[in-house]
Amino acid sequence: MTVTQAGFNLVELMISLVVGIVLMTSITTMFVDTKVSVNRSSAVSSLQQQAQLALQVLVEDVRSIGSWAEFSGELLTDIKTPDTLTLTPGSCAMFIEASSSAIGTFSLPAWANWVEMASAGTFTEADCINDSDDAGYSMAANSDVLSIARIQGNTVTVAGMEAADYYLAVSPQQAQLFKGSVPNGATNIDNAEFYPYLHHTYFVETHETAGPRLTRFSRQGDELSNDLIVGNIEGLRIEFGVDTDTPRDGGADIYYLSGDVNLTAAMWSNSQLVSARIHVLARANSPDLTFNNDANYNLRFAPFTPTADDHYRRFLLSTTVVIRNNMMAVTR
């Protein structure tokens, strides 16, 4: 018996090829879509984590604004922010200049606590720290600059003080800032306890290739250290809730913009600041050409609108924090 074997004819072969191409195209499209979706989810998750980390650091500091331990006096006239740093006079305008004509006060904040929106010519940090690792970074003009002074951690003994660091002597009716090497009688205050003095200044920096980041200047004695808080942070806004009631009830009646708070000393000194809204905008380090970003990220103070279709993914995260201290400090 003869068995006849026949192959595909031309029509069957063409049909098979078409079906194969359709299946391959579908599988490839599904793979690409899945990969894009995974990358998108990973990018958004990373941005969310970075924004959360930035908020966590900011919340802890903002919550403690005006922390002066058991001091309950009406005025903080003895607290003077240190007026010199080991900087070339005029080389650093990181802080708002104090109302003083003395050389070297470019690093002296006018107030112990303040927030101001950065703009061209207002602040420069390029020469504050001579660090080659920071080459190419510049301050972002569309974000707030927040300066916070307060006590830090547990009490210290006179014997345990570092000569180059600053401390606050605190009693119920008196508070005095001093340097470990020059106590100026602060260590002789009756019933005083001594705390390390903390001064942080937060701001956003940008870099052409490395991307944006949230940075903090910390005062270490008469020098500044530059701490990278978290990368990929493009925008920072902080608005403070003020209790305007008479008598005050501890609730925020209105939220003020950064410039308004900075111009009103009474808000800092008279227990009027009761809460803060913090807005952080995270931006991916690399653009995603599959994503057209035309969103208007309104960070409360002023609209933050990225360049049209710049392809950068962003994540905006906000929170409200209660300021827990009864006394706010203003230094002039």
pLDDT of 139? 81
In whole angstroms, give the CA distance from residue 231 to residue 213: 4
Higher pLDDT, 5 or 323: 323
Grade residue 269 by pLDDT with cuts at 50, 70 and 90: low
Residue 90 tokens, joined:
């005029």
In whole angstroms, give the CA distance from residue 195 to residue 166: 9
Amino acid of residue 137? Y
Contact 198/221 with Cβ under 8 angstroms? no
The region of weakest confidence among 5-19, 65-79, 118-132 is 118-132
In whole angstroms, give the CA distance from residue 329 to residue 270: 8
Enumerate the β-bridge partners of residue 116: 145
Enumerate the β-bridge partners of residue 147: 114, 201
pLDDT digit string (tens) for 287-316? 877 777 766 776 665 656 655 667 888 888
Q: Which stretches does DSSP call E strand in 49-156?
A: 114-117, 138-139, 144-151
pLDDT of 266? 67
In whole angstroms, give the CA distance from residue 134 to residue 78: 36
% of the chain with per-residue pLDDT over 90: 16
In whole angstroms, give the CA distance from residue 121 to residue 32: 47
Cis amide bond preceding 82, omega within 30: no
pLDDT of 73? 54
**What are the residues whose beta carbons fall under 8 Å from the beta carbon of 14, sequence distance 6 or more?**
none
The region of weakest confidence among 28-32, 146-150, 167-171, 254-258 is 28-32
pLDDT digit string (tens) for 22-51? 888 887 777 676 766 666 667 778 899 999
**How much is the pTM?**
0.79
pLDDT digit string (tens) for 186-217? 888 888 899 998 888 898 988 888 889 999 98
**What are the residues whose beta carbons fall under 8 Å from the beta carbon of 103, sequence distance 6 or more?**
89, 90
In whole angstroms, give the CA distance from residue 213 to residue 282: 9
Cis amide bond preceding 303, omega within 30: no
Grade residue 78 by pLDDT with cuts at 50, 70 and 90: very low
pLDDT digit string (tens) for 230-258? 999 999 999 899 888 887 787 889 888 87
**What are the residues whose beta carbons fall under 8 Å from the beta carbon of 155, sequence distance 6 or more?**
193, 194, 195
The region of weakest confidence among 62-66, 224-228, 252-256 is 224-228
